[in-house]
Amino acid sequence: SGKRNYEDYEGFKRLVDTAKNIVVLTGAGISAESGIPVFRGAGGLWRKYKSENLASPDAFASNPALVWEFYNYRRHIAFNASPNKAHISLADYEKKCKKENRNLSIVTQNVDGLHLRAGSEKVVELHGALRKVSCTNGTCENVEENYDDPIVPAFANRGDASLDQADLPVIDRKDLPKCKKCGSLARPYIVWFGEMLDPDVLEEAQLLVGGCDLCLVIGTSSVVYPAAMFAPSVAQRGVPVAEFNLEEHPADSDFAFHFPGLCATTLPKALG
């Protein structure tokens, strides 16, 4: 460890083309070039509200209409976005691996669904998905796919939900999304701050991370747990980690490879 290879594309290619179990960890940065705002830093979506103040069970309990309108807006952006060259090069590389009897899996923090839409098959969605809603009634636990945009008529023609809503009429609770099974209030199928990740999903991710012989970590600020510990745990085992990010982070000194820049440019170059 401690070996830092900046932009060593040739060295990386030799490794990636022989690795048997590749795990790719992704965050918001991989979708930035598809027009989906990242969470932290410049261009962050949460200008007016801190992410913790909307993506939390308390926020939903106290103002479900505000939280739902925010997710309605996020869904609109995600459903209308297209996978970029970074998503597509991963999907293509997974197909190449399959032919060569090797494995490539994606463990993503993203909720936009763009890996699946790019054609990736093995995708673990750690934080849920914007295309899914779940029931708030603990005895029902129904999870369903829902592509309606707006998700309910009450959200039509209210403009950009990221703007100040003080002047907009308050939406009645009865007009919010409902569970199609039991009629209770529905919620976004998203893991909010302070909530546990689905234990099966977490276990699947941990198995993949624990068994990989090469790890790519792409477009994440690596501050949100438990996802933030995956790449460091791989590096700790002495397995090479390659980071693709606009910026370099001080915590990443154990990573073997660094490819600074826009990942829709660097990733196709590294996997091509």
Active site residues: 127
Distances (CA, A) of 41 to 37, 79, 156, 207, 221: 10, 23, 30, 31, 9
CB of 267 to ligand BJW, least distance (A): 9
Of 3 and 180, CB closest to Zn ion: 180
Q: Which residue has the CB atom at the shortest distance from ligand BJW?
A: 29
Q: Which 83-102 positions form the footprint of Zn ion (CB under 5 A)?
A: none
Rg (CA), the chain: 19
Neighbours of 219 (CB within 10 A): 26
Alpha-carbon gap, residue 134 to 146, rounded angstroms = 10
Beta bridge partners of 214: 22
Residue ranges in contact with ligand BJW by CB under 6 A: 27-29, 32-33, 38-41, 51, 55, 109, 111, 127, 190-196, 219-221, 223-226, 244-247, 262-263
Query: Residue 83 binds which one of Zn ion, ligand BJW, none, with CB within 5 to 8 A depending on kind?
Result: none
Alpha-carbon gap, residue 209 to 127, rounded angstroms = 16
Nearest to 228 by CA among 252, 248, 196: 252
134 binds Zn ion (CB under 5 A): no
Query: Residue 135 binds which one of ligand BJW, Zn ion, none, with CB within 5 to 8 A depending on kind?
Result: Zn ion
135 binds Zn ion (CB under 5 A): yes
Q: Which 138-197 positions form the footprint of Zn ion (CB under 5 A)?
A: 140, 142, 179, 181-182, 184
Stated as kind and residue range, the H or E segment containing 189 is: strand 186-190
Phi, psi (degrees; rounded to nearest 5) at 128? 90, -160
CB of 213 to ligand BJW, least distance (A): 24
Token representation of residue 146: 């829902």
Query: Residue 272 binds which one of Zn ion, ligand BJW, none, with CB within 5 to 8 A depending on kind?
Result: none
Alpha-carbon gap, residue 224 to 209, rounded angstroms = 17
Query: Residue 142 binds which one of Zn ion, ligand BJW, none, with CB within 5 to 8 A depending on kind?
Result: Zn ion
Among 51, 53, 137, 206, binds Zn ion (CB under 5 A): 137
Query: Residue 247 binds which one of ligand BJW, Zn ion, none, with CB within 5 to 8 A depending on kind?
Result: ligand BJW
Token match 């809603």: residue? 133
Q: For binding to Zn ion (CB under 5 A), which residues are involved?
A: 135, 137, 140, 142, 179, 181-182, 184
